[in-house]
Amino acid sequence: MRKYIISPRGIAAEIILLLLVLGICYVQRQNEFEHTVETAGGKIKQETASEGKEKQDYIKWVEFNVTYEAMNQAYQFDVDTYGEAVHLKWVELLAYLGAKYGGDFTSYQASDMEQLAEKLLAEETTMEEATKDMQYYAYYRQAYGAVLDGMVGEYKIERPAGGEESNDTGTTEWKAYYGLKAFNPIAKTFPYTDYDDFGVSRSYGYRRNHLGHDMMGQVGTPVIAVESGYVSMLGWNQYGGWRIGINSFDGKRYYYYAHLRQNRPYAEGLKEGDVVQAGDVIGYIGRTGYSSEENVNNIDEYHLHFGLQLIFDESQREGNNEIWVNGYQLVRFLSQNRSEVKRNDDTKEWTRKYKIKDPAAESYIKSQTEGKK
């Protein structure tokens, strides 16, 4: 048998070559990451040398770690300055902090946002000037905007004509507001418990991570549409059981509500294509799923699986390119706005107590009507 002898000099050369290759690979991966963030931050179009064609680029990854406290602070600045000479927009404030912290809100301090707000309100600077040297501000503005842009704005909602404390329960009037027009996924007065369970392991069917937020509640608890949109999917899935998928009108958000009630999972008459308004009852908590057979309760605990998917390109709707974000802190923030519901004793159905007029829904319905003419 022939023996091969490698000299110490040869071993050293091999090691140097290996380190060089690893270094090149690291630089290439780092450049790919920075390119993704940079192009997502506004430099969206690039020239493809090999094809000589203009290529559309888009965000391929988002980690939403904004805390409830930061969202609430930014929201209050937004509402308090609406209609003033300087209107502080909450997503811009959060994107500023995102760029400052590198997306890590464990470093969040209220004073950081306060200092920026004071300078903006005093007109000592503008948001453009304050962020001009922040390399990734535009990326965070686009990424956080994909999550939050549809949640704050103008809307009209019914209110008791004599005020909230009025004894006249039959008379209402429309009132105009600017503020939070998105709702918590669970109806008002109905109890639920939750914790941050995004990314934990799941094993039914195959090993995977939990890409949603579970909210434990009682069977039959009304499930609420967080944002106005249209029903794009409704039916059975062996993982999610009876579930509903709702697209936002701007196409950036896909809301997924799963494990709905056995036998009567959905709000009466709800079907694919329907437009729903933020705050509408769309279904009921159950524990269906984990079964290839329809209408089976195979989940251990009654709960709502609430998922939020971001879509920057249609290729991200299904497959390995999907972007799901952690909804735990967002649900905490939305807890300040829970939809009041009422029960029809004859049908045993729950519906919202006060109707809403969302300009986004009205515009979408108008566009669909005009498109059919």
CATH number assigned to the domain comprising residue 334? 2.70.70.10
- Tell me, what's the pLDDT at 237? 95
Domain membership flag for residue 21: no
Co-location of 192 and 315 in the same domain: yes
Check if the beta carbon of residue 241 is closer than 8 Å to that of residue 221: no
Co-location of 225 and 336 in the same domain: yes
Name the most confidently modeled range: 37-46, 87-96, 201-210: 87-96
Co-location of 306 and 184 in the same domain: yes
Co-location of 230 and 192 in the same domain: yes
Taking the C-alpha atoms of residue 24 and residue 184, their distance in angstroms, rounded to an integer, is: 47
Domain count of the chain?
Answer: 2
Mean pLDDT of 5-17: 45
- Tell me, what's the pLDDT at 171? 87
* Sign for the pseudo-dihedral over CA of 120, 126, 129, 133: positive
- Tell me, what's the pLDDT at 203? 66
Ranges 4-13, 67-76, 286-295: which has the least confidence:
4-13
Domain membership flag for residue 357: yes
Domain membership flag for residue 279: yes
Co-location of 279 and 222 in the same domain: yes
In this structure, the number of other CB atoms found within 10 A of the CB of residue 372 comes to 5
Nearest to 215 by CA among 236, 241, 190, 247: 190
Mean pLDDT of 67-90: 98
Taking the C-alpha atoms of residue 65 and residue 68, their distance in angstroms, rounded to an integer, is: 9
Q: Is 33 helix (H, G, I), strand (E, B) or coil?
A: helix
Please list, residue by residue across 161-197, b when 16 or more beta carbons sit within 10 angstroms of its beta carbon and e when fewer do: eeeeeeeeeeebeeeeeeebbbbbbbbbebebebeee
Nearest to 228 by CA among 244, 256, 247: 247
Co-location of 142 and 279 in the same domain: no
% of the chain residues with pLDDT over 70: 82
Taking CA atoms, 44 is separated from 56, 148, 186, 295, 298, in Å, by 6, 21, 38, 45, 45
Give the tens place of pLDDT for each residue, 292-332: 999 999 999 999 999 999 999 999 999 989 999 999 999 99
**Residue 13 clears pLDDT 60, i.e. is over it:** no
Co-location of 123 and 270 in the same domain: no
Domain membership flag for residue 251: yes
Co-location of 96 and 201 in the same domain: no
**Domain containing 263: what range?**
180-371
Co-location of 200 and 110 in the same domain: no
Co-location of 211 and 259 in the same domain: yes
**Residue 210 clears pLDDT 80, i.e. is over it:** yes
Domain membership flag for residue 173: no
Co-location of 103 and 232 in the same domain: no
